[in-house]
A and B are shown apart, each in its own frame.
Chain A
Amino acid sequence: MDKQLSETFNHLSQQNGVVGYSVVDENGLCLKAHGPGQNNNAGFYKSLLDKSRQLSEGSEVASVTIETDTTNIFIQHNQKITLAVSKLP
């Protein structure tokens, strides 16, 4: 399974425009990261999704996109994992 996971993340990092990603566990700790700052921001990516529950009457977890002048960051939750992908606009 590790090999399959590595191949998936290699494939992700080779996608056109992808400059980084961060895989975060349910405690907000970084499992895997690629790109500048992705390791340090892991907890904050998860925090954003945890807080988004409070914006939904059904406590649904949102997908969050942050747009900046240099990159777009897509953050999504899947079971116990939070994935953040940084991509050029």
Chain B
Amino acid sequence: MNEQDILKDFKGSLIIDSEGKILSAAGTLQEEFYNSQGFATTILSMLHDVNVITTSNKQEFKRMTITFSNQTFIVTIVGQKIFVVVQ
């Protein structure tokens, strides 16, 4: 099963590289606000904070969930890619 097969079940998805460049966008995350350098950079910056938190406790990061009143983003890292999906 490739990446697109896994991501197709979500309302939207973004794939970002380790430098914050958007590799692909699908569904609701194709909208200009989300499919933007600013959005990707913020995700990356939050992951840097998470890295400090988890490294200090010698923990292995699995997933970050960002919950708003109207939608939820789930962020995970596989290899050198950052995956963001929206529920």
| CB within 8 Å: A-B pair count | 74
Q: Could you say which of A37, A47, A54 contacts B56, with CB atoms under 8 Å apart?
A: A37
Is the interface on chain B under 10, 10 to 19, 20 to 34, or 35 or more residues?
A: 20 to 34
**Interface residue B42 (Cβ < 8 Å from any Cβ of A):** yes
Chain B residues whose C-beta falls within 8 Å of the C-beta of A37 in the assembled complex: 53, 56-57
Instruction: Jot down 23 A-B pairs with beta carbons below 8 A, ordered by A.
Output: A40-B56, A44-B53, A48-B46, A48-B49, A48-B50, A51-B42, A51-B46, A51-B49, A55-B66, A56-B68, A57-B33, A63-B66, A63-B67, A65-B65, A66-B53, A66-B54, A66-B61, A66-B63, A67-B61, A67-B65, A68-B57, A69-B59, A70-B57
